[in-house]
Structure 1
């Protein structure tokens, strides 16, 4: 490829108004005038790589500078990098997403949303070759400003996810030799502190599991709470993956839902494909569950079928041997599992729910179905927060499952429909928090972080440590005491350094 250079200027003919270009007489002067440009014809065999038949560059102060730039671009083409030319960031992002063949549908949908709603409108017209930190900073500030006027604002967490999409796309541009460096690498994101995970403690988990034991899916929630399985992993668990002799459950697949469609996929990472050790009590619960499922299968007869779902490649897969199913054998809807967990958790410690508003001073209240005998003193809960107490002396059944409760004295506060009577109700938690509770209990009991990470199927201990760092406080305190006790000291030399003495000495300071 031969490089051709020329010098042109922007001077115009005073009569026609047209640019003189190379005809300008001032170009022959020794004093620099005009700018140098370069061009080269791309060989036919390289046109598919380069994307055009000719490469150009202009605006150089000297012919030497023009030739150097041309040589640089030429070396990039020979090294396998496509000449960017006028390729915009928006077009590149579309090409990048189209070329990502191994993305899960949920990840692809997330990338597509970020590109369509945020990145293409704000950065799409910027040439990829000229994209820099200032463009990206300005785009994120615009997202923040626009988010303030929306019902659902795009806050720091959303911007962090958008940035992750852009950074991944530009990393591929660097790997494919389209860019020398990733301009998103040095962007400073808005400050964002993820809320700390605060799951149920061991006592509350036990209360929930005692209530769940009455339900046909109780063993499923027990498995998630004790072994830390994800919702989709529990839905996709199979009997052939359970080794009762070794006390191990192999996680090979998960049932997921995206965009109203169900699918069966392998775990997201290699570490997600794991063996989970089970205790004897949980194995017993699963054995009883197998007997109950056998009875359901006998009733269903030939209609028993786990169903057919598509895999990560879109191909149909006939499910079989699922541990947890609907009574007719069909696979479970993961969202149903989450919603059903809320019903079970809500019943822990619950007596009844107020079915009609009752003003302060009333002597009776109307309630729905009673879970226990109501004649006693109860705490009144509103949105799971205690707001008062009532004492019930009599319960008169009404039509249906409702009842009218008579109080010992006049009601001391206004009651609203939906308020609850109960004792030590469980705080609201998501189904995924059972997994967090499992991690919390394991760490609190001194189980090594690496082992906890493997049981949870995290890709690295860094993820586990980041998620549950605040739950390691008690473990850290025990470690501090263990280290101190392991070091022999002459205590008589340090007898004056008691906590009380130190406090007093600091106080005098």
Structure 2
């Protein structure tokens, strides 16, 4: 006699149409349990699906169903699927967008009832809505406190085109996973046209402003960092994630292989943005000399700090740019430092990321080709380089035209008569 399955272990049954189905209790995103069915053409296929579903239940991972609310599905996707596929900073951004904007507007819709019209209407209303009121729509407010529109004084803050694009991206990614799990037949977010984003013109420092800034930064304890950011175009997190083992001063190169980012209240070390971001960069001689001086200064700081020199837990050994007590430098603190340097140098205020743009514009002005700049900056495609710096390539394009004149040689003083030309 076959052993009877225990309660909750699931059952497999053959249907009248010849297919099989199985049922088992699974967790919902809200922590409650419900009975879920899976289907297949063979018993083995259904048994595999049942085993996978039961394993998720044993791990406490909620299982999705096509009839669940879209808000619950977002919770499930962000908790069980997205962490395996997204970098921590991207995941943190997606969680915020879902909590503040998507779930309040679309959360109560059934996953299998969500339509292109729902998504299109949401994006249209989101683009023109007051950002302050959107963020407070699903949150309880203290007694007597209302959003700005409710009191008749709208703050006129609207989501940027980039934010709208990111919200659309979250919808597409979540629904694409629902297709993989065979919960829905189509991705309704893909049907809706992606909102366009007008690229902002970058405003890098010119050569004169760059010299003034570096002259002012010469006495700063992180002078080597500012020079490195301008000379190599490293991202802020890439520079702060460098260790001395990543730098070969004798060969004049450095290897970018990690970055550091602030995720909520923690500084997290991770891999760079894309595979092309993992790269080897050549160092100008001036950078090499500055790094040698910085290493000597860091050793003096270590001796002065003594027992107070305590690197943070999980921090790589031998970080190049640390605080005076050996801890990783918070990327946000660089913004404040640069603001003060710009003020003291009497140049317009720029962001740390604008130093990356400054590097690219200076290289272009020196006639360096776009492909080399792409490799230096770690862009994923050369199209990104050309699109980002198209407006600062005027000098390079003019130089190319002059070189073409040189290649063609001097013009004849008089054209030959038609009759004198031979076939």
TM over 0.5: yes
Query: Would you say 1:236 and 2:241 are equivalent positions?
Result: yes
Please give the secondary structure, in 2, of the residue aligned with 1:192. Answer: coil
1:339-378 matches, cutoff 5 A = 339-348=336-345
* Residue 170 of structure 1, CA deviation: 2.1
* Residue 479 of structure 1, CA deviation: 2.9
Tell which deviates more after alignment, 89-98 or 170-179: 170-179
In 2, the alpha carbon distance for the partners of 1:134 and 1:214 equals 59
Query: Would you say 1:134 and 2:112 are equivalent positions?
Result: no
CA contact (8 A) 1:255 1:265 kept: yes
Other-structure match for 1:115:
98
* Residue 162 of structure 1, CA deviation: 0.5
In 2, the alpha carbon distance for the partners of 1:213 and 1:79 equals 65
Please give the secondary structure, in 2, of the residue aligned with 1:137. Answer: helix
Other-structure match for 2:320:
323
Query: Would you say 1:460 and 2:377 are equivalent positions?
Result: no
* Residue 344 of structure 1, CA deviation: 1.5
Query: Would you say 1:153 and 2:158 are equivalent positions?
Result: yes
Change (3 A) 1:492 1:79: farther
CA contact (8 A) 1:249 1:275 kept: yes
Which has the larger strand fraction?
1
CA contact (8 A) 2:66 2:184 kept: no
CA contact (8 A) 2:240 2:328 kept: yes
Query: Would you say 1:275 and 2:280 are equivalent positions?
Result: yes
* Residue 307 of structure 1, CA deviation: 2.3
Q: How many residues align?
A: 358
Unpaired stretches in structure 2, ≥5 consecutive residues:
1-13, 27-33, 50-62, 132-148, 417-423
Other-structure match for 1:52:
36
CA contact (8 A) 1:41 1:53 kept: no
1:290-309 matches, cutoff 5 A = 290-308=295-313
In 2, the alpha carbon distance for the partners of 1:185 and 1:264 equals 33
CA contact (8 A) 1:147 1:153 kept: yes
Give CA-to-partner distance per residue, 1:307-356, whole Å, 9 cap, x none: 22xxxxxxxx24321212222322222222221121122111xxxxxxxx
Which has the larger helix fraction?
2
1:402-421 matches, cutoff 5 A = none
Q: 1:100 aligns with which of 82, 92, 108?
A: 82
Change (3 A) 1:164 1:480: farther
Q: 1:475 aligns with which of 374, 392, 396?
A: 396
CA contact (8 A) 2:360 2:373 kept: yes
Other-structure match for 1:31:
none
Q: 2:365 aligns with which of 444, 456, 460?
A: 444
Q: 1:144 aligns with which of 114, 119, 127?
A: 127
In 1, the alpha carbon distance for the partners of 2:387 and 2:74 equals 31
* Residue 287 of structure 1, CA deviation: 0.9
CA contact (8 A) 1:290 1:323 kept: yes
* Residue 233 of structure 1, CA deviation: 1.8
In 1, the alpha carbon distance for the partners of 2:400 and 2:343 equals 37
Other-structure match for 1:203:
208
CA contact (8 A) 1:224 1:435 kept: yes
CA contact (8 A) 2:230 2:359 kept: yes
Length-normalised TM-score, structure 1 = 0.63
In 1, the alpha carbon distance for the partners of 2:107 and 2:415 equals 69
Change (3 A) 1:130 1:293: same
CA contact (8 A) 1:133 1:184 kept: yes
Unpaired stretches in structure 1, ≥5 consecutive residues:
5-39, 56-70, 309-316, 349-424, 496-509
CA contact (8 A) 2:217 2:223 kept: yes
* Residue 473 of structure 1, CA deviation: 2.7
CA contact (8 A) 2:83 2:91 kept: no
Please give the secondary structure, in 2, of the residue aligned with 1:332. Answer: coil
* Residue 483 of structure 1, CA deviation: 4.0
Change (3 A) 1:488 1:186: farther
* Residue 281 of structure 1, CA deviation: 1.4
Alignment RMSD, CA only? 3.4
CA contact (8 A) 2:89 2:261 kept: no
In 2, the alpha carbon distance for the partners of 1:174 and 1:429 equals 44
Please give the secondary structure, in 2, of the residue aligned with 1:52. Answer: strand
Change (3 A) 1:447 1:141: same
CA contact (8 A) 2:22 2:46 kept: no
Please give the secondary structure, in 2, of the residue aligned with 1:113. Answer: helix
CA contact (8 A) 2:66 2:183 kept: no
CA contact (8 A) 2:312 2:327 kept: yes
In 2, the alpha carbon distance for the partners of 1:300 and 1:85 equals 59
CA contact (8 A) 2:88 2:263 kept: yes
Q: 1:91 aligns with which of 68, 72, 82?
A: 72
Other-structure match for 2:108:
125
